[in-house]
Structure 1
Amino acid sequence: MSQAASGAIRGGSFVLEGVGALDSSRIVTPEDFTEEQRMIAQMTEDFVAKEIAPHDEEIEKLDYELTVRKLRVAGELGLLGADVPEEYGGLGLDKVSSTLINERLAKTSSFALSVGAHVGIGTLPIVYFGTPEQKRKYLPDLASGRRLAAYCLTEPSSGSDAQGAKTTAALSDDGAYYVLNGSKQFITNAGFADVFIVYAKVDGEKFSTFIVERGMSGVSVGPEEKKMGIKGSSTCPLILEDVKVPAENLLWEVGRGHLIAFNILNIGRFKLAAGTLGACKMTIAISAKYANERQQFGRPISSFPLIGKKLADMNVRTYALESMVYRTAGLFDEGLAQLGADGADSGQTAAKAIAEYQIECSINKVFGSEALDFVADEGVQIHGGYGYIQEYAVERIYRDSRINRIFEGTNEINRLLIPGTLVKRGLKGELPLLQQAMALQAELMEPIPSRSFEGTLEQEAHLLTMARRIFLMVGAQAVQRYQTRLEQEQELLAQLADMIIAIYAMESALLRTRKRIDRSGEEKAGLAIAMTTVFVHEQFARIEGAAKEALAALAEGDVLRTQLSILKKLARMAPVNLTALKRRIAAEVVSGERYSV
């Protein structure tokens, strides 16, 4: 049974329901953190300050021994066992708490990647899909850091096409072990990992997953890759030559490897977004401090409006990202709440629960990685020539950020997955997507009355509703024209994906701010109101642009003119003074020298 059947919010439903249909009390926001969660965040910050920051340069030079030693310290503190059940030596924390850890670790750059690969894609396959025996054997050591993990999916000839892997696994005649042969590429933590989650095809066709130990005969690791960024993390090829893996080290079942891979990647995408959030906040703080200290023309550059605009834009995108990340963490907590640690069907149950929010995971990954690229780029620009010098932290942030658009499925692949998954859910009847699209077609032929808005964020809520209608209108036209061939129209799918991403981001920011207004009043929520107003208006303009481009590819002549006329009515909005709002936001960032909410 799907987790959503028990009353949880359905994955992808945000494109259908009006803002008023989702009670803001149902979403998790940073303002909802419990005292225990704040203590976990503080403990992580203390660990970073005491254990990692003093050794930053050494770690960046790829000191295996130091990295492993610090990973074990993190394990002793419980930072590696947040997602591991207590009965297997972990803390069994909720996803909001583990997300706070991921976000706070982002300040450690390459070390954060080493942690992330271990606790996420390296350990979670066993947490969610392992047998009780596998969990007892591996999880206590992985949670404590006594053993470290790596995830081995990518191959020299298969990246995004994971099922095109050539690594093979053959069961021995006596059924005691599988013989693995092949190689994996770009494996994070490979230089020092003890446990490898390896994907291989049984009998050359059944995509399956195995727990491989470093000490097994035939396992070897190639040389370190020389990378553009994240230089302090280990990235090596893994080579498997007639490796005899005990049959009990098969993870879940033969032929189920694709379900493990895709669902663990969903979690990985979400965790990546949490990391980009932490990096965005760090970059804002670094840039605001530098802007206050750097004098030009007799005054700090932070006093110049164009520098302030950059800081405001950085802060606004980070506010939206933060709203999305913790909203999604709350969805996972709700969806995974029914899972037990064991049980014959625990893997299948976990797969369904994780898959429920695969659209949201891809959205977080794409938005977060691109938000960080934007923030890092603006951070370098604020630093001017100094931003290009390695002595300044923003230079490394800029280099390190680039990999995030490639990790965990490229952003191009994720853009194809977002609308593709949504359409499949509609066709299966899991979401009333087609029904709402059909109902909208008739409604769009009626006149759309002009409206005036007086209440706080009233127009922004209306724009969100119109954004959904624009998406449904364009999406319906796309499905009607291409039907099963839609997956071949990648440019069109990417435009639909951008609309979906913007809708989720807009709604997340809007719901969070409404919740803040309900809790503390408009005056105290003033900065959040300003950021939400800016974000919604700018995103709505992007949605309109994407819709125009998509409609022009779908129709021509009178049909196109009619559709563009309808779009113009749906996109009608009263402009607001974004310049004034951004100056207010910039003033808060400059005075606080940090990400401001």
Structure 2
Amino acid sequence: MFLLENIEPDKIFTPEDFADEHKMIADTVADFVENEIVPNIEELDKQKEGLMRSMLEKAGELGLLSADVPEEYEGDEMGKIASAIIAENVSAGGSFAVSHGAHTGIGSLPIILFGTEEQKRKYLPGLATGKLVAAYALTEPMAGSDALGARTKAVLSEDGKYYILNGEKIFITNAGFADVFITYAKIDGEKFTAFIVDRDTPGFSVGAEEKKLGIKGSSTCSLIFEDAKVPVENVLGEIGKGHVIAFNILNIGRYKLGAGAVGSSKAALAVAAKYALERQQFGLPLAKFGMIKNKIAQVAAKTYASESLLYRMVGEIEEVLEDETDGKEIGAAIEDYAIECSIAKVHASETLDYAVDECVQIHGGYGYTQEFPAERFYRDARINRIFEGTNEVNRLIIPGTLLRRGMKGQLPLLQAAQALAAEVTSLRAKMPTGDEAPLEIEFDMVDRAKKLFLMVGGTAAQKYMQKIVKEQEIIEIMANMAIEIYAMESALLRAKKALDNNPENAETKVELALAYVYDAFPKLDAWAKQALAYMFEAGDMLRTNLSIAKRLAKYQPVNLIGIRRKIAAKVLDAGKYVV
């Protein structure tokens, strides 16, 4: 609905709304990472025998593995906001964050949400404390993003006590030392079903460690099932409904990955700022040069937008789940946020790639050496655009889900597009006069961006109908527009909420929001023109639609250089990301 209606700033959750408990959790995780993980990070990256496992057990002792586990199974049940805060702050631990995320997220959550009472009592206490370590096994040699194309097969044994699994899974995080594996197979080659597989299962084995570009400390192996005997009581969820578990768990994994990417972007910014202040060239610190300030400010603005949209979404999910205890209902509620989960994953992972790239660039030649952390940041970040469904697949999910819900009448998307057609002639951009309220112009820009999306999306839906799945370039443009709209609006709502509630501390948030919006808004114009030029033959229809798009995309630039200089000065003064 964020594309179809406006929301009041006081309705969204922001990091400024963290409770004291949330802040304490963040501090606990940060202290653990600084004191336990960072001193061991080189040994972790060398995969020192038993070290990663022992670090997970220490995290378990502090309650950092049990945020999502119900209290009756020795968990802390802290809520989704706390869980996201842990994911964000543990990200400074490099490869440890990958192992931690695989264990607490996609590894444990399937049992938390879809396990039977017996399965929960058997596995969750150990998973909550770190005595057991979990892994998630979905990907196969011929089935990556196309998860339902899996070839691993399960057949019921003659005595009815076991399912006999045959097949292979690849790129499985934590595989080298995990005790519990959530995996998927097709019963009788047809019914896609989830299973809990114990490490000591007869016929089950783990392959050699993969040699990877980054996240070297995390274990990544293949799994081999050769007549593996999995007890029938280890079927997870309903037979033939494995996709329900797989896709809902991936949604959660996506926003948790987004949280981790936000934390890593902040870490990269801090390292870049510190180096820029220390490194001298031409008799001056790098921090004094305009192009370096510009890099610092842009990383900060993009990180601010990622952080804002992430906690806006997680806050909504927490509110929706407040009274939910049934796993299926929780899964269904989170599925309603599938689009936002994909947006969080894509936006935050691409922000992180931008941040680590500029971090290396600010370091110059030193950034390419292992003497400085920029090199490791750069390598470790790259996987995030592949994990939890590639960013290309997530871009397909965003418009695909929107259009599917619109066609089913679950979302008044097509009605909104039709209504827009009746009002296009009266649409005009608000131009600054000096009398407008703070951020009024920018909220008008976002409102018109939504109309521009509806124009492009409505035209595409009407022109291609069900065949739109073959028009991936148009789908990508629609996804990019939706992502930027959600990011711009989230940044502005957070800044406006700060202005309304705490104006003396709102200045930096406003600057960050403005820096982001005026960088992102022109992109929508370019994307819309690309789409319209493809969908209409040259002639009157194209000229008419381009004219409408021009009105919707009109804006008056602000002094972006000046705003970025202010942001950079504050980041450099603090030596880290500031809001």
> Which category of TM-score, normalised to the shorter sequence, fits these structures?
over 0.9
Cα pair distance change 1:307/1:205, threshold 3 Å: same
Report the equivalent of 1:591. 573
Q: Does 1:462 align with 2:450?
A: no
Conserved in 1, the CA contact under 8 Å of 2:95 and 2:216? yes
Report the equivalent of 1:580. 562
Q: Does 1:53 align with 2:24?
A: no
Q: Does 1:167 align with 2:149?
A: no
Output one character per residue of 1:506-554: Cα deviation in whole Å (capped at 9) or x when no partner: 1111111111111111x42111111111211211111111111111110
Cα pair distance change 1:64/1:199, threshold 3 Å: farther
Residues 82-231 of structure 1 aligned to structure 2 (within 5 Å): 82-231=67-216
The amino acid that maps onto 1:538 is D
Superposed displacement of residue 120, structure 1: 0.3
Output one character per residue of 1:174-218: Cα deviation in whole Å (capped at 9) or x when no partner: 322111111100000000000000100001010000000001111
Report the equivalent of 1:564. 546
Q: Does 1:492 align with 2:474?
A: yes
Q: Does 1:382 align with 2:326?
A: no
Report the equivalent of 1:4. none
Report the equivalent of 1:362. 342
Report the equivalent of 2:463. 481
Whole-Å Cα distance in 2 between the matches of residues 569 and 325 of structure 1? Answer: 31
Q: Please point out which of 528, 546, 554 is paired with 2:527.
A: 546
Cα pair distance change 1:307/1:218, threshold 3 Å: same
In terms of mean alpha carbon deviation, does 309-318 or 328-337 score higher? Answer: 328-337
Q: TM-score, normalised to structure 1's length? A: 0.95
Cα pair distance change 1:384/1:248, threshold 3 Å: same
Report the equivalent of 1:528. 509
The amino acid that maps onto 1:477 is T
SS in structure 2 of the partner of residue 14 of structure 1: coil
Q: Please point out which of 263, 274, 283 is paired with 2:268.
A: 283
SS in structure 2 of the partner of residue 187 of structure 1: strand
Q: Does 1:432 align with 2:432?
A: no
Conserved in 1, the CA contact under 8 Å of 2:429 and 2:444? no
Report the equivalent of 1:506. 488
Conserved in 2, the CA contact under 8 Å of 1:76 and 1:144? yes
The amino acid that maps onto 2:357 is D
Cα pair distance change 1:441/1:57, threshold 3 Å: same
Conserved in 1, the CA contact under 8 Å of 2:430 and 2:444? no
Whole-Å Cα distance in 2 between the matches of residues 76 and 528 of structure 1? Answer: 36
Residues 394-473 of structure 1 aligned to structure 2 (within 5 Å): 394-446=374-426, 448=428, 451-453=431-433, 454-473=436-455
SS in structure 2 of the partner of residue 223 of structure 1: strand
RMSD, aligned α-carbons: 1.0
Q: Which has the higher contact order (CA 8 A, sep 6+)?
A: 1
Conserved in 2, the CA contact under 8 Å of 1:589 and 1:596? yes
Q: Does 1:335 align with 2:317?
A: no
Superposed displacement of residue 392, structure 1: 0.5
Superposed displacement of residue 450, structure 1: 5.6
Which consecutive residues of structure 2, in runs of 5 or more, have no partner in the other structure? none
Report the equivalent of 1:255. 240
Whole-Å Cα distance in 2 between the matches of residues 447 and 576 of structure 1? Answer: 22
SS in structure 2 of the partner of residue 62 of structure 1: coil
Which consecutive residues of structure 1, in runs of 5 or more, have no partner in the other structure? 1-12, 341-345
Superposed displacement of residue 64, structure 1: 3.8
Conserved in 1, the CA contact under 8 Å of 2:269 and 2:355? yes
The amino acid that maps onto 1:396 is R
Output one character per residue of 1:63-95: Cα deviation in whole Å (capped at 9) or x when no partner: 240110110011111100011111111100111
Output one character per residue of 1:298-323: Cα deviation in whole Å (capped at 9) or x when no partner: 11010001000000000000000110
SS in structure 2 of the partner of residue 196 of structure 1: strand
SS in structure 1 of the partner of residue 519 of structure 2: helix
Q: TM-score, normalised to structure 2's length? A: 0.98
% same residue: 56
